[in-house]
Structure 1
Amino acid sequence: PEQSEDCLLLNVQVPHNPASSSLPVFVEIHGGGYTAGNAEAVPGDALVHRANGTMIFVGIQYRLGLLGFLASAEVRDNGILNAGLVDQRMALEWVQRHISAFGGDPDRVTIAGESAGGGSVSYQLMAYGGAGVAPFRAAIPELPWWQPLKNDTLSQTNYERILHNTSCTDLECLRRIPSDQIITLTQNSIGNSYPDAAGNFGQYATGDFVFGPVVDGSFIKGLPTAEFKAGRFYHVPILTNHESAEGDSFTNLNETEAEFPGDLQRIFNTPSKDFLATLLNDLYPRNEYASVGKQRSAIFGNLYVCCPTLAIASSASQWGNNQSAIFKFNSSADGGGHGTIGAYVYSADINGPYPNATLAAILQSYYISFTKYLDPNPGRLEGAPFFPSYSDAQQILQVSDADIVVGADADRGAKCYFYEANPYTTRN
């Protein structure tokens, strides 16, 4: 199915011939914009096979869309904000309590996720400001989807429009609506939750899925960039990444000059004239892009995914107890579209097919080695390039169809620093 929220079920994949009775565990949180997806879409067969008896894979599920991320004053008072993230945390705590029954070691759990799954991993790192003991020892936030967090006003407006569209007047009424109608409500909200210049709702912010994590003062105490920068996260080893064309999948590449200003108003939170002038004249000048769509794609991709990897890697290198155990790679392989890396790492068929079987073997070996040793190097495929620590001059691996080379992190520059300096407008 395209969507499953049966949070009482999770997938546990164990090797036929385990190398020991207490194996490291790789827990995957699926993506899907916090509104779709399921654990079955991210199978661990290939990873478990390549690990050759030395790793267990777990796939978890959580409430999505309106069910998992509805936010309003009434939900705050009479429900649970960020219910989807709380579901994930409960699943991770279940793994801590029970994975030993499957031959797993609860003290050697790595959490991973791609896109909204990577965003979810980020929020699990930030959970409760990093207080207490994390139910994992390492994290792999892949393509971390830091969709701008809606403020209270936007969340309340969306909630009231949902009530209006159902003829409900309160949260209790919404709870009685059948799940198939809830799914329809979620999809309708995604498509028309933004007003036009005249204030009439019905606009779609391409690439924005409306529902997602919000600052609740408890599970999420603040915006992610600021929380990471302040060290309010679990200081564990981290491996993160992003693709080279993150924004393309979430952009109308045929967007016109006339459509662009309204689009920017939906991407950012009430951007000022000065903000837009710097954005469009200094950082993303039109003459540097083949089209308005490509210009918009770069703005979007950096905001939602690329700059978050910088925030994670740079902060973890600064605050981590083991600062050398931070790793980052960027990929342009197979076009570098959002989610492309997943095709190399996750497969129900141990033999692929992969876009590039050699690259798949290398990337899988990095992930497995990181899970086992908190370092992608000791168990990497023979002949695979050495993966430098990010704390070593902020070096990363640059992955392409042709090769894998060590290079500087291009995200360290004015574009990401500008977003970091404007949290009210970027909201992430």
Structure 2
Amino acid sequence: MTLAQNTLFLVLCTAVYAVNPTVILDNGTFIGSALGTIDSFLGIPFALPPVGELRFRAPQPNDPYRGLYNAGAFGPACIQQPLNLPDIVNPTALSSLTEILSALPTPAAEDEDCLTLDIVKPAGVTSESKLPVVYWIFGGGFEIGYSAIYNGSAIVERSLELGMPVVYVAVNYRLSALGFPAGKETREAGNGNLGFQDQREGLRWVQKYIAAFGGDPTKVMIWGESAGAISVAAQMLMNNGDTEGLFRAAFAESGSPIPTNTVESNQAIMDKFVTTAGCGDELGSSAVFDCLRSVSIEAIRTGINATPGLGFVEYTSIYRGWNPTSDGVTIPEPFLQMVLNSNIANIPLVSGDCDDEGTAFSLSNSNITTSSEFEDYITELCAGGNRIAVEPLFSAYPEDPTVGSPYDTGTKNNLTSQFKRLASISGDFFFEAPRRLFLQRIADKQPVYSYITKRMKSQPVLGAFHTSDLFNVFGPGDMTDYLIRFATTLDPNSGNTNVTEIQWPRYTLEGKKILTFLDGKVPLRIEEDTFRDEEIKTMTKFLLANPLP
């Protein structure tokens, strides 16, 4: 660089410093952006790029920062799983699913080098401010999603209005085959559930650096929705419930410890991926990963594209190709077994669901139109062909549309004679039954709060669908206030100055009180967590006796 170029560079840097917020980490200077009372620092790398020899390995901490960093733009999304629609014969189902897919934002850029996080903080805070930290983990079925989708500024702005300022952190993590490899080769290599490991490495970064952004590393709350909420549960289960001092509370929207199996249960999908990526000759040992590290990212993408995608766009319904699984290391046992063993972090928790979690996931199954087709489908999908095992589910979830999902809508919204039945069984399978089991194991040991949201119940076909509660948080809405108070005080009610807002009772085994979010003139109500009690008990018994095939 010439003397003139050096001079121009220094002048430009000085101009940037004059108008943009900066933070110094190690020997590196990060230049963010300001908007009113909010400062943002985006796309900060929290680990070494997981490429080349670091592909399919646990995340490695960054080297100390040096030099100048532009933190004014989001980093790239991690490699996404394509969404491929099956042949949907029902026009209403196709229309609804197309509407859902069109609402999903497409990342501006995808890259294997994607381990970055975003920080939004109140302007003017210092290392002495020691503000609570909300650590957001996005959802997307462990196959799609990225931090840039979500407006963290809405959370921070609302926290300022409440007089309870927080720092917002959102983390990117590896997805699909790159984040959740499967098969016996993964167990041998000890590299399972890499996406969960990425999330935890981000939490370690927060411990080291968040004070520079005004945050308190001792006041971190992990928070997620859908796959992000399942990730929250995973972080509570990892290391036999040892948080390593990385977080002190958890907030989980539509996700609990789901029924998982072992890495070997996904062997066929891993084999398909590996073979298509060009490494089929190495299957059978951990040496397959040496081959996968040597192929191009285009070959990796091709392999991923050949495997099943997100549940709501596949006939496999809510089942996905790249589920988290027990690998013997990061997740030593299937989730539900760990819940039964009570290897769970003893921290305050909020956990809740939407009322009609299963509707969106059942749109792709509108080809199932008779009771016999329903029974054959559930037998194969849920029990690997063991009809005796699933017989109790057939009677617990009858064909009667008035008891199906969307609930409390009578005979309406039944695309086929089996749609509301499918929606009910899938919603309880992956959401309601796991949540209730989880809370029953911990409610008398630690502070727990639970909710059900029935807002948007009038949405045709979908009702109070999966992800609908996000509108009430990033909106922001009244759930935002509870979340901020919980992150700040570990009690969603503490500091509430709104005398008209209802007090959220703690969930206990005796009372089982939950907060219900409603449309209409009465937006909040306290109810008992006993809805569909017999059905969910039947489902829970089935889940505990029948690991996913």
Q: Which bin holds the TM-score, normalised by the shorter protein? A: 0.7 to 0.9
User: What residue is the counterpart of 1:326 in the other structure?
Assistant: 448
- Distance of 1:146 and 1:269 partners within structure 2: 19
Q: Within 2, Cα distance between the matches of 1:15 and 1:266?
A: 52
Quick one: which amino acid aligns to residue 116 of structure 1?
A: A
Partner of 2:506: 389
Cα offsets for 1:79-101 (capped at 9, x unmatched): 51111111111111111111111
The amino acid of 2:131's aligned partner reads L
SS at match of 1:240: strand
Structure 2 residue aligned with 1:103: 214
Residue 40 of structure 1 aligns to a residue whose secondary structure is helix
Letter in 2 for 1:286: E
Matches within 5 A, 1:81-92: 81-92=192-203
Equivalent residues of 1:246, 1:301 under 8 A apart: yes
CA distance in 2 between partners of 1:192 and 1:362 (Å):
30
Picking from 286, 299, 306, the partner of 2:399 is 286
Task: Quote the Cα distance in structure 2 between the aligned partners of 1:181 and 1:43.
Answer: 33
**1:179 maps onto 2:297 in alignment:** yes
**Correspondences of 1:8-407 after superposition (within 5 Å):** 8-18=115-125, 21-52=129-160, 54-78=165-189, 80-131=191-242, 133-144=244-255, 148-168=259-279, 169-170=281-282, 171=288, 172-191=290-309, 204-252=315-363, 254=366, 255-257=368-370, 259-270=373-384, 272-281=386-395, 283-287=396-400, 288-289=403-404, 290=414, 291-320=417-446, 325-335=447-457, 336-346=464-474, 354=475, 360-380=476-496, 382=498, 383-391=500-508, 393-402=511-520, 403-407=523-527
* DSSP-derived class of the 2:140 partner: coil
Deviations 1:133-168 (A, max 9, x none): 341000011100655424344322222222332332
Partner of 2:35: none
CA offset at residue 183 of structure 1?
3.5
Q: CA deviation at 1:268?
A: 1.3
Q: Distance in 2 between matches of 1:238 and 1:107?
A: 16
Q: Work out the percentage of aligned pairs sharing the same amino acid.
A: 27
Question: Aligned AA for 1:125?
Answer: M
SS in 2 for 1:334: coil
**Total equivalences in the alignment:** 402
Provide the C-alpha distance between the structure 2 equivalents of 1:5 and 1:244, rounded to a whole number of angstroms: 36
> Contact 1:21–1:103 at 8 Å: present in 2 too?
yes
Query: Structure 1's 400 and 185: CA in aligned 2 closer, same or farther, altered over 3 A?
Result: farther
Question: Is the contact between residue 63 and residue 83 of structure 1 (CA under 8 Å) also seen in structure 2?
Answer: yes
> How far does the alpha carbon of each residue in 1:172-226 deviate from its partner, in whole angstroms, 9 at most, with x for none?
2222333344344324311599xxxxxxxxx841222210211122221222233
Letter in 1 for 2:423: S
* Contact 2:121–2:167, Cα closer than 8 Å, also in 1: yes
CA RMSD of aligned residues (A): 2.5
Q: Residues 24 and 132 of structure 1: is their aligned pair in 2 closer, same or farther, counting only changes over 3 Å? A: closer
Q: Distance in 2 between matches of 1:399 and 1:4?
A: 38
| 8 Å Cα contact 1:231-1:319 kept in structure 2 | no
Q: Evaluate the alpha carbon distance shift between residue 187 and residue 399 of structure 1 in structure 2; reply closer, same or farther with a 3 A threshold.
A: farther
List gaps (5 residues or longer) in structure 2.
1-105, 283-287, 405-413, 458-463
Amino acid corresponding to residue 101 of structure 1 in structure 2: A
Which moves more between the two structures, 7-16 or 149-158?
Answer: 149-158
CA distance in 2, matches of 1:181, 1:345: 39
Aligned partners of 1:6, 1:43: CA distance in 2, in Å? 23
- Per mean C-alpha deviation after superposition, the further-off stretch among 103-112 and 40-49 is 40-49
1:426 deviation in Å? Answer: 4.5
**Distance in structure 2 (CA, Å) of the matches to 1:279 and 1:425:** 12
Letter in 2 for 1:331: T
Unaligned runs of 5+ in 1: 194-202, 347-353, 355-359
Shift in CA distance, 180/49, structure 1 to aligned 2, threshold 3 Å: farther
CA distance 1:312–1:183, change in 2 (3 Å): farther
| Higher alpha-carbon Rg | 2
Letter aligned with residue 142 of structure 2: Y
Aligned-pair CA distance for 1:319: 2.9
In the alignment, the residues of structure 1 paired with residue 112 and residue 245 of structure 2 have an alpha-carbon distance, to the nearest angstrom, of 24
Residues 132/378 of structure 1: CA separation in 2 closer, same or farther (3 Å cut) = closer
Residue 275 of structure 1 aligns with an amino acid whose one-letter code is A
Q: Indicate how the Cα distance of structure 1 residues 21 and 130 shifts in structure 2: closer, same or farther if over 3 A, else same.
A: same
Structure 1: how far apart are the matches of 2:310 and 2:300?
Answer: 16
Question: Shift of residue 232 of structure 1?
Answer: 0.5
On the 8 A contact 1:66/1:183 being kept in 2, the answer is: no
After superposition, the C-alpha distances for 1:50-83 in whole angstroms (9 at most, x for unaligned) are 1006100000011100101111222222351111
Letter in 1 for 2:453: S
What letter corresponds to residue 151 of structure 2 in structure 1? P
Q: For 2:548 and 2:216, how far apart are their aligned partners in 1?
A: 37
Distance 1:39 1:158, change over 3 A: same
- 1:379–1:129 distance in 2 versus 1, CA, 3 Å: same
